[in-house]
Amino acid sequence: MDTARYYTTQNKPLSEEPISKNSVPRVGALHIWTGVKLGALVTAGVGLGYWAALQQQEREQKTSSATELDTSLGSEISRLKAPSTIPYTDYENETKPSYYRDTSRPMHDRMEAFVLDLQDRLVASLESLEPSRRFVRDRWQREDGNGYGISCILQDGEAYEKAGVNVSVIEGTLAPGQLKSMRERNPHTAQKLSATEEYDFRVAGVSVVVHPRNPYAPTAHKNYRRFEVYRKGERDAGPVLAWFGGGADLTPSYVFEDDIKHFHQTLKHACDAHDKSYYPRFKEWCDKYFTNVHRHETRGVGGIFFDDLENKEPEELFRFVYDVGNAFIAAYVPIVAKRMTMPYTVRERNWQLIRRGHYAEFNLVYDRGTKFGLMTPGARIESILMSLPLTARWEYMNEPEHGSPEDKLLQTVRTTFDWTK
């Protein structure tokens, strides 16, 4: 993929049409409270003179608050500068690491080496855009001794409001709820795993969520893992069942078709190198999985998603996961670099926070990984909930103006597109 060509193209305007200031209310919690309070006072029959005074007070507060917000909002843009190159965006032409080439090592060990290596590469590429902060590395051990993790977190930066790159390598006994969930989602798994037996498991995975500060830069998520299941106490006999799972998806607040096409085309290129059926299958799977059913919209503009992948030899599947895992850097980080210096106002910031609220809804209500983590005894809650944004917003009955850029985003996530054409 020609990532450099995409990266150096000029930004296009969001819309040729004027944007109404009424699309997304520019009021904060104080102004909402004041409006409710004023309505209550009028209902109670307060005199018009007092009502007019309160209206004037609210206008003054709103003007003052907006001025304060506008002077600080977007101030980070002047301190941001996109680098001429971004590390690790050309994985196809790099020398492959030893864990990739050494087929004599157990697959679990190679997957562990891969996710640790990929974590370092992701951190370096993301940090190349961030002038003020670096990721904090938090290495932790499970209290029962069954595994460890490394959580790399960056908060309150200039380019990123919150970003996390987590690795976990854990083992244990499948809880009844976990076993039930596995058997229900896949008939093949149900044939291999008995509902009356006990099983141990091992998993090595990397999970990434990035929430940029600029509303025009999209949120992105990625995770890849290998899961192995053994009859309890019989690890030496080898796994009863083992599979790969994961994917990557993009969640913008504003629609830039060039960005979305670049993201999808980069992932498609990585998929096609292994199986041309992968991208269309996994893209459709992604659209169905990342859906906020209660809102009748997808979480974002999709990407790829797969689970229980065991249809080929483990070596071939490992190489596929290696490629799509590394392709995420080329697919996503240049988009942030391209959008992070675009000017924005309170309007765009509020819309970004509303969309982050929808993002949080999916993660807490539907996400399979979150549910699995929370059901795992001794789970590290801080790492599981790392995916949640630092800030979010819920406005009652928020409806963007028809034809506005915010409305365009809603129309986009209420249907699906082929972004590779």
Check residue 202 and give its pLDDT: 94
pTM: 0.82
Are the beta carbons of 206 and 241 closer than 8 angstroms?
A: no
Q: If you count them, how many residues does the chain have?
A: 421
**Cα 300 to Cα 302: distance, rounded to the nearest angstrom:** 6
Task: Share the mean pLDDT of the chain.
Answer: 85
Q: Which two tokens stand for residue 43?
A: 């209902």
Q: Tens of pLDDT along 147-185? A: 999 999 999 999 999 999 999 999 988 877 778 877 877
3-state secondary structure 122-176: HHHHHHCCCCCCCCEEEEEECCCCCEEEEEEEEECCCCEEEEEEEEEEEEEECCH
**Cα 320 to Cα 282: distance, rounded to the nearest angstrom:** 13
So which residues are the catalytic ones?
Answer: 221
Q: Which residues pair with 206 in a beta bridge?
A: 167, 224
pLDDT band at 71 (very low <50, low <70, confident <90, very high): low
**Cα 212 to Cα 161: distance, rounded to the nearest angstrom:** 5
Check residue 354 and give its pLDDT: 97
**Cα 233 to Cα 242: distance, rounded to the nearest angstrom:** 16
Pick from 398, 388, 370: nearest CA to 295: 398
Q: Tens of pLDDT along 301-341? A: 999 999 989 989 999 999 999 999 999 999 999 999 999 99
Average pLDDT of span 106-130: 98
pLDDT band at 57 (very low <50, low <70, confident <90, very high): low
Higher pLDDT, 12 or 372: 372
Check residue 114 and give its pLDDT: 98
Check residue 235 and give its pLDDT: 86
**Cα 322 to Cα 318: distance, rounded to the nearest angstrom:** 6
pLDDT band at 104 (very low <50, low <70, confident <90, very high): very high
Higher pLDDT, 73 or 321: 321
Q: Which amino acid is at 152?
A: C
Check residue 62 and give its pLDDT: 44
Q: Tens of pLDDT along 218-246? A: 999 999 999 999 999 888 888 988 999 99
